[in-house]
Amino acid sequence: MALNLSAARALPTLLCAFLIANAAAQGVPSARITRVIKDVKIIQGQATRDAALNNAVPQGAVVRTAAASRAEIVVRDRIVLRLASNTFLSLGPDGPALNQGAVLFEAPSGVMNAKIAVGEITIDTAGTTGIIERFGGTYVKIIMLQGKARVFLAGTIGESLLVDAGQILIAKPNPKFLPEAVDFDIDQLYRTSMLTNADFRPLASRPLINRAIAEQKKNPELNATNLVIFGRGTLVTLIDPTPSPVPKAAPSPTATASPKPQASPRPRR
């Protein structure tokens, strides 16, 4: 009888431990708001409320930022996600999914379930820092500031590639295959992006980003591409790779890309 009583007392503890482990195994996000700039909402079902510091973001909810607004959330106390303006980020049972806009991610090495979905593309962000941007059904951009991320297509066996620091991958949200990545200037983007400026605390991975910048500067050929990122965002612009005696004025993009990327060529495999 005493044995049965002890087992009964232990059952709630064992059940709680099982549920926690099962939730972690399924990648159920436990997220909280750590920064709110202007108009940020948490949408759950038919209910919409203003986001506030330290608010919990439940599974199934969507975090939405309005124009000129930004936010930061932390998933499971380890993965940092910074939302640019006009961004919709949902937190599903399999992890975050970017529906629209741009999000900076920072995930430490060894973290489990660090995948982010965007359309049919999934990015394993463990040990990396970068930016993902989506404009509806038009394009997706994956921009790596440090680390090496595995990018793969959902439901397509063997269709995956590694995107290294200083590389940007541009594709449709539902591509048949993944194109090759091209190079960009890490330092230029980091210094000018509204997701890395003084409105946010310094990234924990900044030393690793500095190292990636230093490595990139050692080899200027890495930037020998006609895809360049100007200004305060992630707008990729086609330029003439040959030097021009008369400098041309650079465009002034916003924190996220303009609705139409300027002359972005179709990436080749």
The one-character DSSP state at 251 is P
CA distance 211 to 203: 14
Each residue's pLDDT expressed in tens, for the chain with a length of 269 residues? 554 545 455 555 544 444 444 444 444 447 999 999 999 999 999 999 999 999 999 999 999 999 999 999 999 889 999 999 999 999 998 899 999 999 999 999 989 889 999 999 999 999 999 999 999 999 999 999 999 999 999 877 778 999 999 999 999 999 989 999 999 999 999 999 999 988 999 999 999 999 999 999 998 676 545 444 443 445 555 444 444 444 444 443 444 343 333 333 433 33
Backbone angles phi, psi at 254, to 5 degrees: -85, -170
CA distance 187 to 180: 22
**Global pTM?**
0.76
Question: Quick check: helix, strand or coil at residue 211?
Answer: helix
- Contact between 99 and 66 under an 8 Å Cβ cutoff? The reply is no
Sorted by where each starts, the structural domains of the chain and their CATH numbers stand as: 25-238 (2.60.120.1440)
